[in-house]
């Protein structure tokens, strides 16, 4: 059993609440923090301490980090919407992380496991796939750029007063409970909005089950090397076409191969320049759009990630293939009436 005292930022969120559960199972004493206005229903039955704090408020964060051994930093503004200004991403994700790390160092916190994203690489270079952690970074969306700057900011504090920083870079996360990001693609298939796939394009796409992402983060607290980042993806090798076809089959939906190559597939990503008016229309109706402008840049590259570095720490995946985790995910969507 661990015996450590852990702080989880973004504790009320989809991933944050699961981190809290995992830490409790591993014997950690857990404190969660999130905005005062956050919905606490996901953690209200957990045996944790809750301290409301805003990452942009230094005094509040200092109170939250006091007397903890390790921080699991899941909190972030996660959105691919074109309607959110860069300054908002910077204030929350970058400057908020600076506040957190500064307070942690001053309060003598031992370590931080930071949530980054595989989106920091941007469209990977074809001669460097599957992508390892040292791949050049060229994030395209505002969100992914903020996560890269956030990760770099956290790493600036590595080694100060003994503070150890480790980062995880999850691929697109799926699993029961997830309704954003990769879930939007799967739900588009389930609801008949995505009915085609490219016949002549072998671009790959990596994903990770949420339970493996959470387990990897806790594993790396004990087994990861400070100052290092780790891709968190499953073992399978999917093309975008295969992912769409197999998801559709699990959902009982029909999809059709379109005779287009990768170049034409990439051109579809440029539709993102026409998406903001649609987003504005949905926003005016107080509804979520089926997809968002910045998410379409994932059509522009071979997003195939390598997990060798993570596995070399002794980590074992519970969901090594999308086939292992997608059936329960589809079942959850159906139970929630989402498709």
Active site residue 143: yes
φ, ψ at 67 (rounded to 5°) = 65, 35
Whole-number Å distance between alpha carbons of 298 and 159? 34
Cα distances (angstroms) measured from residue 207 to each of 112, 157, 173, 273, 275: 24, 29, 6, 26, 25
**Residue among 154, 160, 37 at smallest CA distance from 100:** 154
SS3 of 289, please?
Answer: coil
Tell me the helix, strand and coil percentages in the chain, rounded to 5.
Answer: 45, 15, 40
37, with CB counted inside 10 A (0-12, 13-18, 19+), is exposed
Looking at the DSSP bridge assignments, the partners of residue 140 are: none
Cα distances (angstroms) measured from residue 238 to each of 68, 206, 208, 259, 310: 40, 7, 12, 19, 19
Continuous H helices in the chain: 14-25, 58-65, 86-89, 96-106, 142-156, 182-190, 210-223, 240-251, 262-269, 275-284, 308-311, 322-335
The three-point CA angle 113-172-328 to 5° equals 105
Active-site residue (options: 28, 80, 121, 143): 143
Catalytic residue positions, numbered? 143
């Amino acid at each position: 059993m661990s015996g450590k005292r852990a702080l989880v930022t973004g504790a009320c969120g989809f991933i944050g609440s699961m981190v809290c559960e995992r830490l409790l199972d591993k014997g950690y004493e857990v404190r969660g923090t999130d905005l005062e206005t956050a919905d606490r229903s996901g953690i209200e039955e957990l045996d944790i301490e809750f301290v409301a704090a805003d990452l942009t408020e230094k005094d509040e964060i200092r109170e939250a980090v006091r007397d903890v051994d390790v921080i699991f930093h899941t909190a972030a503004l996660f959105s691919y919407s074109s309607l959110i200004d860069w300054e908002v991403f910077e204030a929350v994700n970058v400057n908020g992380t600076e506040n957190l790390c500064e307070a942690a160092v001053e309060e003598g916190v031992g370590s931080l496991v930071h949530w980054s994203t595989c989106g920091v690489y941007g469209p990977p270079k074809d001669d460097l796939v599957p992508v390892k952690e040292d791949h050049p970074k060229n994030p395209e969306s505002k969100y992914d750029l903020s996560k890269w700057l956030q990760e770099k900011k956290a790493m600036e504090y590595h080694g100060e007063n003994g503070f150890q920083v480790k980062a995880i870079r999850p691929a697109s996360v799926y699993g029961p409970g997830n309704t954003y990001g990769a879930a939007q693609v799967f739900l588009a298939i389930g609801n008949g909005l995505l009915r085609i796939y490219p016949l002549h394009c072998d671009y790959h796409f990596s994903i990770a089950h949420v339970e493996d992402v959470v387990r990897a983060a806790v594993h790396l607290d004990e087994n990861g090397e400070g100052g290092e980042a780790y891709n968190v993806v499953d073992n399978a090798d999917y093309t975008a076409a295969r992912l769409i076809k197999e998801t559709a089959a699990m959902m009982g939906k029909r999809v059709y191969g379109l005779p287009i190559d990768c170049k034409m597939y990439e051109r579809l990503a440029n539709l993102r320049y026409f998406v903001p008016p649609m987003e504005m229309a949905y926003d005016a109706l107080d509804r979520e759009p089926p997809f968002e402008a910045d998410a379409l840049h994932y059509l522009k590259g071979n997003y195939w990630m390598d997990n060798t570095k993570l596995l070399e720490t002794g980590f074992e995946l519970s969901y090594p293939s999308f086939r292992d985790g997608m059936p329960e995910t589809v079942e959850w969507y159906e139970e929630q009436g989402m498709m």
